[in-house]
Amino acid sequence: MPSATQTQRLSGDRSAGKLYEFQKQLPKLPVPALSETLPRYLRTVEPLLSADDYAHTKRIVEEFGQSVQGRELQRRLEARAAEPGRANWLEEWWNELSYMGYRDPVVPYVSYFYAFKDDKLRRKPTQRAAALVRAMWAFRAQVASGELAPEMARDTPLCSNSYRFMFNATRVPRKGADYEATYPLGENEHIAVVRNKQFFVLSLVHDGQVLSAAEIASQLDLIIQRADSAAAVPIGTLTSDHRDKWTENYQLLAQAAPENAALLERLQSAAFLLCLDDAQPVTREEFHRVFWHGDGRNRWFDKSLQLIVCDNGKAGLLAEHSSMDGTPTCRLSDYILDQTLNGKADLGSTAVREELAEPELLRFATPPVVVRATEQAAARFDKVVDQHQLRVLQYEAFGKNEIKRLGFSPDAFVQMAIQLGYYKLYGYSRATYEAAATRKFLHGRTETCRSVSHESIAFCRAFEDPLIAPADKLAALQAAAKAHGAYARACSEGKGVDRHLLGLRLVLRSDEEKPAIFRDPAYAKSSHWALSTSQLSSEHFEGWGFSEVVPDGYGIAYTIRTDALIFHIAAMKNEFGLNVDHLAHYIKEAATEMRMAILAAKLSEKASKPKL
C-alpha cells in the first residue's frame, strides 16, 4: 500500500498548466497582529456573555495582549510563517487536527454531499450514470492537462492546490492520523464501480479512445446484472467505522489473502467511485440521506469522490472533506450537471465496440474474521445514522434575485434568517460558525466567520418585538447584515480570530503554562458551534449537506438559488432535545417576516414622502 512519502512523490506530476499558473504569485496566509485579533475577538464574545463574565474576559484578553508570553507566542507564530519552504503556517496543523487526526467516522461527521437535479432525458440509471461519468472524465482531463482555468474571486486568483486531491485520490487509515494517497492520472485511467456491495474496475479508455456514454452504459448494465445475481460481504462498511478501528480492519482485510492488498490498490487508485444504488428515494429527506450516508454497505467512504446514482435516476456526489473543501467540488458538480442537463456534454458515438473487455470484479477474500468485522462495523454505522435527524427545507417564496432587489447580500440575509429562526425557537443566540474561504492565499482553506454580533442580537430582538415599527426592524436588519459582511470580508483576508488563536495555542510548548485567555470559559463557549453553517450554491442543486459538529448543535448547509432557498438541517437525537422540524419552521417564518418588514418599511417611506 502507498505510504505517506509515496503519496508526496506520486502527486508530483500535478503542477503544470493554466490551473496552477498563479500558484507562485499567491500571497501567504498572514499572521494578524495581536492588536487586530484581540479586539475583534472581544467583539465576538461580548454578545454571548453576561456583563460580569465579559468584564472578566476583557481583563484576561487585554492582559494577554500586553504580556511577555503573548508577545512571545506571536513572535513564534510569525517565525513559523516566515520559514523558508513553508507554504502556509496553518496547513499542517489544520489538516491534522480537523481531518487526518480526527478519529470519529468520516460519515456522517466529515464528508459532505450534493443532491443533483433530475435528468428528465435519462430516467434509466445506467444512462444517467454514463452521461455523468463522461462529463466527469472531461473535467478530469482538464485537471490532468492543467488546462482547467483557475478559480477566481472577481479578479483575484484562488489557490488550486486542492485539485491535486480531486481525482485518483483516497484517504488511507492509520493509527493516530490518516494520510492522503494520490496516484498519477495518466497511469490510472479506470474508475471503480460498486453495486450490491461488490466492487468492479472499469477502464474508461480502450485503444486510446475514451469510452462513449453508450459504451459506459452497456458496461454498467453488465455490472448490475452480475452484481444483482450474487451476494457479497459488504467490505465497504469497514470504511464507515471509527478511524482507529478501521485502521485495524484495514490491515486485517489487506492481510487476509495475498491478493487483497493489490485489490485495495486497484480500488484506491481509481479516478473516482461510482455507486449504483438500488434505492429509489422520493422525498427530499430520503434522497439527502442516500447521498449523505446511504446504508453504508454500497460505499467506500475514503474515496475523494463518490458519484451516486439510484435506480430511479436520482443522483448526487459525496466528497471526502480531508483534502478538499467545497468550492472545487461544487465547481465540478455544477460543470457535469450543466453539461448533462443542458445538452452540452460530448457523449461520443452511439455505437458500442464489441471488443471491450468486461468490467473486472474485485474478488476480495473475506474469511470469517473479516465477515465479523463487517458485521460489527455495520451495526455501529446503523446506530450512528439512527442517532441523526434531518429536515430539508425547500423555501420557494423567493431566492437570490428577490433578496438582491430588497437591497441585501443573499448570504448575509440567509445568515440572519438562520439567526432569527434559532432565536424564535430558543429565545437566545449561541455561537455560530459560517465557513469563509481563504483560498486567495497559498494553500489556504477556510476561516470561521462568527455570525453572532451585537447587531445580529439587536436584529433578533427587534423582529420579535411586536411594538417595533417596520422601519426600525429594517434598520436593525441592515446593521446586522452590514456587520456580518464586514466580518466575512475580514475572514477572507485571513483576519478572522479563530485560526490565529489556534496558532497561538499550538506554538505553546508542553512545559509552558497555558495562558488564561485559553482557560477562560468564554473561549470554549464562543467556539462551541451550536450552529455550523455553510453555503454552496448552484441552480443545478437540490441542496447539499453535512452533519452537526457538536452534540447539542445543528448543521445547516444551504443553497441560494435564483428563486428558492434550500436548507439541509441535521442534528442528533439525544438528551439535548433538538428539533430540526421546529428549527426549519422558524427559519421559514423568519425569512418571510424579514421580507414583509422590508416591504412594509419601504412602503411606509414611500407614503411619507410629500407628493409634488
Q: Which residues does the annotation mark as catalytic?
A: 321
Grid coordinates given for 533: 453553517
Residues 6 or more apart in contact with residue 198 via CB below 8 angstroms: 226, 227, 230, 232, 361, 362
Residue with cell 448547509: 557
Find how far residue 502's CA is from the centre of its chain: 21
263 within 8 A of 363, measured Cβ to Cβ:
yes
484 within 8 A of 453, measured Cβ to Cβ:
yes
Length of the chain as a residue count:
612
Report the SS3 class of residue 203.
strand
Burial status of residue 525 (CB atoms within 10 A of its CB: 0-12, 13-18, 19 or more): middle
Grid coordinates given for 110: 466529515
- Residue 396's CB: how many other CB atoms inside 10 A? 10
The single-letter DSSP state of residue 26 is P
Residue with cell 512523490: 9
Residues 6 or more apart in contact with residue 177 via CB below 8 angstroms: 96, 100, 101
Assign 3-class secondary structure to 56-104: HHHHHHHHHHHCHHHHHHHHHHHHHHCCCCCCCCCHHHHHHHHHHCCCC
SS3 content of the chain, % helix, strand, coil (to 5): 50, 15, 35
